Structure 1
Amino acid sequence: MADRSFTTIENHWITLKDGTRLAARIWMPDGADRDPVPAVFEFLPYRKRDGTSPRDESTYPVFAAAGIAGVRVDIRGSGESSGIIDGEYTELELANACELIAWIAAQPWSNGSVGMMGISWGGFNCLQVAALKPPALKAVISIASTVDRYNDDIHYKNGCHLSAQLSWAATMLGYQSRSPDPAIVGGDWRDMWLQRLEQEPFFMEEWLEHQRRDDFWRHGSICEDFAGFDIPALVVAGWADGYRNTPLLAVEGLGEKAKALIGPWVHKYPHFAWPKPRADFHGEAIAWWNRWLRGERNGADSMPSVRAYILDSIKPATRRDFDPGFWIAKREWQQPDMQCFYVEQFGTLMDGMPIPHAPEHPVYLRSPLDTGTASGEWFTLKPDAEMAIDQRVDDAGSLTFQTAPLTEDHDYLGRPVVKLTLRCDAETANLCARLVDIHPDGTATRVSFGVLNLAHRNGNAAPEPLAKGERTTITVTLDACGYRFRKGHRIRLSLSTAYWPMVLPPPEDPGLTIDLASIGLALPRLGAHELIDVKQPDNPDPLPKYVEHAPGSTKRQVVRDLSAGRTRYEIHEDTGLFEHPGTGLSTRQLRKEVWSIAPDDPLSMTGISTWTCDMQRPGWFVRTVAASSISCTATDWIVSASVIAYEGETEIFRKIFQEKRIARDLM
């Protein structure tokens, strides 16, 4: 069938029932007024005009050419939409999404069937909206998302406080501070901008008020009621991203209503993600939409339950453009058979279970608090040092146990589990467990990791202080992985009490006494599977090219000040200055983030993240500078933020979010 011609509507106003006017960009197949079409809806705060325009322009024209309308809407207070954003995935946001779905379905060009998709924020809210069952929503595609907002997002992980929480709060403060485009909103742009600057929230304050898995986090977590979720969901993620658990959790919870696709990728759409190989997302999506929005019997509903790329003995590198491996399919997903290992008396990992009632073999572990600088970002946007690098630097501050060289290949798919018994002289401490591939030359690749705040050992809703000095058995479930350990390699288990800067330290640093005789490692065998091919994109370079006025750059470094006894982890990101050739709008964002800690003092931890966001056309220039910071005492988290706005060289707005102290809750 020949591609259908289409029209791009750069901006269309949709007025909600409460009077808020939202800005939409629409890709409309020609003739839809005579022959109505299905539509795909995406609802984000990331600005259709500039923020997501490259990826939108890589996908929605392809959908439109296949006879599927695309409707990309900015959330209130974002881009050119009026109003003020009120948080992440709020009841208001989800209600607005349901209203927009009904609006789309009622248009004369619509066949009444709507799909919803997105990555990250849009991947989250499409699952959450689907759980509300708006009548016209027939299917979703969710990429790099979560089914559990507390435990698989940028905030907390098994009760540990992730540094990504400050990073993302700073990012959103910077993103939301940007001006609407005068070319769309006209002379009201400055008033809209000032209102936005005055009223935008600092998300970090609200997130820190909820350090347990309470109703705030249960809202929007579809794992609370998998049985009530009845909309087909294609759930996609990459092993190099923080959201790697979601596809398997979705299939386990939703059964045949969900299909999982997991590649080697960072936090990007599969048709332009790194590392390669990529996947033909356009073909996958169009087949999914045609099955559920048009009723085509094309087999999309009978795909294997899980398709996954098994990484084959990857080596860390300064940039990973391609990861060796192979695609497999599981027709039906079942809990894996686990291969068990134990630690024998000399510290070697051996096949089998720990010996019951073996004499206690205590070993004290107190990692330097800067252990973890090889961890990379929690979620990754580029295949460079944002990904985990060679683990030997972190293994130096860890207890490590490894097998003898393997006599055959070992293939795994699923979530590893570590179980052990320990003692602690404080009410809580953090424990990190990493699964590492040791290559014959000694290179160490992180395959998976898990962290646990020991006060959360029995659940995240009601933490329980440790009984000081008493034996406590704990279980750490690591993140999902798909990996082949090659013959001649070694499997290593690394344990540490710190994983900084990814995980912020607890108020005390007592160390742990671990019983080596109790340690058990269970790895999920790949088991029965089919070897498959996953089609790669026809277009190897699908993103549009914009006009470059200044190149981008990135830099990460760890600075250990031996005289002062402090370690700094520094991030510098510059997107470069690029002009959209169709709109003439040029944008640039700069991120500077610095984390600091003394390796022997958990209360010395500080973090500051600053975003500078520029927008310009000839004769018009605006800039915002948003800064957010965190520090701590033994009893409190201390956060503050500021936003400064400039029109040309003139400062026109300044807001200081006063320093706020929020009590630490067993964290």
Structure 2
Amino acid sequence: MTLAEQSELVYAEQLLIPAVDGTPLSASLTRPGGAGPFPTVLTRTPYDRTNQAATAEEWARAGYAFVRQDVRGRFDSEGAFYPFRDDPTDGVSTIAWLAEQPWCNGSVVMTGASHVGTVQYLVAPRQPAALAAAMPEFAPASVYHYWWRHGGAFRLSFNVAWAILLARDNLRHYPDRLARLQEQQAQVWVTPEEMRRLEIKPFFRAWSPEQHAESPGDVFGTGWFADFMRERSFGPFWEAYDFRPQHQDFRVPMLHVGGWHDTFAQGTIDSFTGLSTAGHADQRLIMGPWRHVNWGQRDVGDLDFGDELLTVDPFQTRRAWFDRWLRDGPADGPPVLIFVMGQNAWREEETWPPPAAGEDAWYLHADGRLAREAPSGDREPCTYDYDPRNPVVTLGGPEWVNYPCGPFDHAPLEGRRDILTFESAPLEEDIEVTGRVSVRLFASSSAVDTDFTAKLLDVHTDGRAFNLCDGIIRARYRDSLSHPAPLTPGEPVELDIDLWSTSNLFRQGHRIRIDISSSNFPRFDVNPNTGDDSTGGPDTPREYVVARNTVYCDQDRPSHVKLPVVRRPLGR
């Protein structure tokens, strides 16, 4: 394009694109001047397409037509909003319509993050003929496993705040109801200072599924929030939103982008690995240290990850990916690009997990040590009381935009009796952990159901301890997320806690630390220990039971963390 063509952009602010059932879906177009036709970038959003005007112009000046569309039932698009339900067919209809426009050259690509990335995973198995490539960012591979729940526990803070945000937009024409909702929104947005003071806002403390379903959850007219809350176990309802079994039907090159501290971190990785395993060689993965959608920033939580992080530019990476498939751009390098925290450097890999990553067991010892050697003989177990009315407060981690995300110093939580801390000796050499982390816990409880949480931390030489990844298991889901089974009080069981993936270089002199507890609130709802988790917050007027929870660290029941330690030949 000439400079004149770059400056003379063409705008169409109200395109009405018919869905397959005739519902008009509203979209805006920004394209280069001139006759075209042009390759077209599509983004489908529930967050108001008008917010993307600057992005649209950037794409148009790069020679692409850019179409931003409100998904069904949101803002100017008609119909009823029900997350993810209509996106497969609406996406296919939209892509087909775009390919037929005189300003489109017949090739459409998709981009966007979070929900806007998820809709790409929903449309891809339908194999729309004009879809040439996609770039989902910070998006999950399954709504149940990576978005709504984790290990059977409800992801409270994120999902309640998300529903309130969506409901606020739906009530923009109803000032009285909107004002009440905005008061609730202020209660679910937490500042770093509030978090460091371990404050739990009253809304979270008093929250329950029933209360929420009757307020912001009912403004959509579809009952989707109540449906999502009712389906606590994985089953037929959630299968339509689990993209992993559909990977064999994908036929589109995808670049998956995520962050180690993102709320969907493992979902991004599992999309890449699932599609690669299914035989799709045209998949790429980028994982930075980012929290949710803060690609392009070097500060995450309490840490600054340095200038090298910024060498991977968001827009230029997107453009290069689409140029690769639509304009015969240069071929890609290795399929995996990861940022190793601690070293604060990018590294290319041929596969995920890296072939040099093994699986080392580090054992939990009754005296609080974390060590490679397994415990010997009988040892007294570690026991603590978990009171749902006094949960451990969430301190950073892979949260959403309403809660401080990323690595934070965990000093405010030290001294709690319901957190078991296991810490290595100062490391004699650097140790890199890159891959999926899990904890095998041998445990029992006095209750018929309870939660166990695990968190991996990097303890610096000055004593500050920063979280890397964490997980939870609701004990009744220990064997199956589809078929819960109660505990027998006092009977030891094996529990696997998935902490998702990370990449971190533990420097010489640092310590590796594992924290075990039974709550992480409001990241997850509290477990009342009764076998009925229809509650949500510690002040909900329901029955609560204090659970005496026990972790075993002996020869016959060696609780341990599995660390993917990278070993490379000397000189690499």
Gapped regions of structure 2 (runs ≥ 5): 175-216, 530-545
Work out the CA distance in 1 between the residues paired with 2:267 and 2:97. Answer: 30
Q: Choose between structure 1 and 2 for higher RCO, CA contacts under 8 A separated by at least 6 residues.
A: 2
Are the structure 2 counterparts of residues 267 and 2 from structure 1 closer, same or farther at C-alpha, using a change threshold of 3 Å? Answer: farther
Q: C-alpha displacement at 1:115, in angstroms?
A: 0.9
> Where does residue 476 of structure 1 map in the other structure?
497
Are the structure 2 counterparts of residues 341 and 17 from structure 1 closer, same or farther at C-alpha, using a change threshold of 3 Å? Answer: closer
Contact 2:439/2:562, CA 8 A, preserved across alignment: yes
The TM-score with structure 1 as length reference comes to 0.69
> Where does residue 344 of structure 2 map in the other structure?
325
> Where does residue 298 of structure 1 map in the other structure?
330
Work out the CA distance in 2 between the residues paired with 1:58 and 1:272. Answer: 18
> Where does residue 550 of structure 2 map in the other structure?
513
> Where does residue 237 of structure 2 map in the other structure?
216
Gapped regions of structure 1 (runs ≥ 5): 181-195, 313-323, 533-667
Look up the SS of the partner of 2:351 in the other structure: coil
Q: After the TM superposition, which residues 440-479 of structure 1 pair with which residues of structure 2 at under 5 Å, given as runs?
A: 440-479=461-500
Matched, 1:74 2:83: no
> Where does residue 658 of structure 1 map in the other structure?
none
Aligned-pair identity in percent equals: 26
Q: Which range moved further: 415-424 or 56-65?
A: 56-65
Matched, 1:134 2:128: yes
Matched, 1:103 2:92: no
Work out the CA distance in 1 between the residues paired with 2:289 and 2:58. Answer: 24
Q: After the TM superposition, which residues 39-188 of structure 1 pair with which residues of structure 2 at under 5 Å, given as runs?
A: 39-49=40-50, 53=51, 56-85=52-81, 87-90=82-85, 92-153=86-147, 155-163=148-156, 164-179=158-173
Work out the CA distance in 2 between the residues paired with 1:65 and 1:466. Answer: 61
Matched, 1:310 2:347: no
Amino acid in structure 2 at the alignment position of 1:332: T
Are the structure 2 counterparts of residues 448 and 142 from structure 1 closer, same or farther at C-alpha, using a change threshold of 3 Å? Answer: same
Amino acid in structure 2 at the alignment position of 1:42: T
Contact 2:18/2:94, CA 8 A, preserved across alignment: no
Q: C-alpha displacement at 1:11, in angstroms?
A: 2.5
Q: C-alpha displacement at 1:142, in angstroms?
A: 0.5
Matched, 1:261 2:280: no
Are the structure 2 counterparts of residues 105 and 198 from structure 1 closer, same or farther at C-alpha, using a change threshold of 3 Å? Answer: same
Contact 2:23/2:79, CA 8 A, preserved across alignment: yes
Work out the CA distance in 1 between the residues paired with 2:560 and 2:219. Answer: 54
Contact 2:20/2:89, CA 8 A, preserved across alignment: no
**1:362 aligned residue (345, 356, 381):** 381
Contact 2:452/2:473, CA 8 A, preserved across alignment: yes
Work out the CA distance in 1 between the residues paired with 2:99 and 2:456. Answer: 48
Q: C-alpha displacement at 1:269, in angstroms?
A: 5.5
Contact 1:127/1:140, CA 8 A, preserved across alignment: no
Look up the SS of the partner of 2:226 in the other structure: helix
Which one has a larger percent helix, Structure 1 or Structure 2? 2
Which one has a larger percent strand, Structure 1 or Structure 2? 1
Q: C-alpha displacement at 1:424, in angstroms?
A: 1.7
Give deviations 1:321-359, integer Å, cap 9, x for gaps.
xxx71111112224631122113453311124555xx43
Q: After the TM superposition, which residues 6-45 of structure 1 pair with which residues of structure 2 at under 5 Å, given as runs?
A: 6-31=9-34, 33=35, 35-45=36-46
Matched, 1:373 2:410: no
Cα RMSD for the two superposed structures: 2.7
> Where does residue 193 of structure 2 map in the other structure?
none
**2:437 aligned residue (404, 408, 416):** 416
Work out the CA distance in 2 between the residues paired with 1:377 and 1:406. Answer: 24
Q: C-alpha displacement at 1:450, in angstroms?
A: 0.8
Q: After the TM superposition, which residues 554-573 of structure 1 pair with which residues of structure 2 at under 5 Å, given as runs?
A: none
Contact 1:374/1:390, CA 8 A, preserved across alignment: no
Work out the CA distance in 2 between the residues paired with 1:304 and 1:433. Answer: 33
Are the structure 2 counterparts of residues 168 and 531 from structure 1 closer, same or farther at C-alpha, using a change threshold of 3 Å? Answer: farther
Look up the SS of the partner of 2:321 in the other structure: helix
Are the structure 2 counterparts of residues 82 and 345 from structure 1 closer, same or farther at C-alpha, using a change threshold of 3 Å? Answer: closer
Q: C-alpha displacement at 1:430, in angstroms?
A: 0.5
Residues matched between the structures, number? 490
Give deviations 1:498-524, integer Å, cap 9, x for gaps.
111211122224131111221111111
> Where does residue 228 of structure 1 map in the other structure?
249
Q: After the TM superposition, which residues 485-496 of structure 1 pair with which residues of structure 2 at under 5 Å, given as runs?
A: 485-496=506-517
> Where does residue 201 of structure 2 map in the other structure?
none
Work out the CA distance in 2 between the residues paired with 1:173 and 1:228. Answer: 34
Q: C-alpha displacement at 1:110, in angstroms?
A: 1.5
Look up the SS of the partner of 2:265 in the other structure: coil
Amino acid in structure 2 at the alignment position of 1:172: L
Contact 1:250/1:258, CA 8 A, preserved across alignment: no
The TM-score with structure 2 as length reference comes to 0.80
Q: Which range moved further: 420-429 or 521-530?
A: 521-530
Query: Which 4+ stretches in 1 moved above 4 angstroms?
Result: 1-4, 196-199, 527-532
Q: C-alpha displacement at 1:69, in angstroms?
A: 1.1
Give deviations 1:363-388, integer Å, cap 9, x for gaps.
21224544432423753338x84445
Look up the SS of the partner of 2:87 in the other structure: helix
